[in-house]
Structure 1
Amino acid sequence: MSKGLGLVVRFTLRDQTAAVAFDQLCAETMEGIKRQEPGTLAYVTHVPADEPLIRVFYELYADRAAFEAHEAQPHTKRFLAEREQFLVGTEVTFLDAVAGKVPLRPG
């Protein structure tokens, strides 16, 4: 686990209309992540209870190289460019993995 890299990202959405559009953008982005990113071990979006305009992402990568590969993908670049129109705030926390259980890597 010592090479793992994680992120928790908290997005605050402008309004309910923005939330719907943001969720659609996320769904489209997720398709690319599933198909093209073997080093992305987990990429999960959450809506906190009683906070309908908040989205929290949990992302886990095999290592920094896997994160950099994720950032270089066309679907990720599109997400990063288009998300701003829906947001009023973003908080990013990088995490270094120390211990835990992760899914087996394909292959």
Structure 2
Amino acid sequence: MYAVVARFEVRPEAVEEFDALAQWRITEAARNEPGLVAYAVHRVDGEPLARVFYEIYRDREAFREHRATPQTAEFLARHAQYVQGSPRMELLEPLHTAGRLTDTPV
């Protein structure tokens, strides 16, 4: 298992556009990426312009495959107009898991 957390600060005038782009991106990932375990976009309580993407992949190779898709290239080309600055990304390797995540092959 391999996970990614990315935090975006959205421009106040572009929230609807960014959220629509994010919805498109996760729909495409679910449809076209067999190594994807879970993909969610979150709002942050008390921070109406913050969006956090949480992505879980079967393994590091599945994440590399995700990064190489045309949909990722399109998202990366389009998102910059809607956000303030670069996203903060964290790449995560699991130490401990529980629940349904334990069924994911490592």
The match for 2:26 is: 30
Task: Give per-residue Cα distances to partners, 1:57-93, cap 9 Å, x unaligned.
Answer: 1111111110011111111111111101111131111
Count residues with an aligned counterpart.
Answer: 101
Compute the displacement of 1:99 (Å): 2.0
2:26/2:40 contact within 8 Å kept: no
Q: What TM-score do you get using the length of structure 1 for normalisation?
A: 0.86
Of 97, 101, 105, the match for 2:94: 97
1:19/1:86 contact within 8 Å kept: yes
User: Is 1:52 aligned to residue 27 of structure 2?
Assistant: no
The farther-off stretch of 78-87 and 92-101 is 92-101
User: Is 1:85 aligned to residue 77 of structure 2?
Assistant: no
2:51 alignment partner AA: R
* Unmatched segments (≥5 aa) in structure 1: none
* Unmatched segments (≥5 aa) in structure 2: none
Q: 4+ residue stretches of structure 1 with deviation over 4 A?
A: none
1:41/1:103 contact within 8 Å kept: no
The match for 1:69 is: 65
User: d(CA) in 1 for partners of 2:61 and 2:20?
Assistant: 27
Q: What TM-score do you get using the length of structure 2 for normalisation?
A: 0.87
1:57 alignment partner AA: F
1:42 alignment partner AA: A
RMSD over aligned Cα atoms = 1.5
Identity of counterpart residues, as a percentage?
A: 38
User: d(CA) in 2 for partners of 1:91 and 1:7?
Assistant: 10
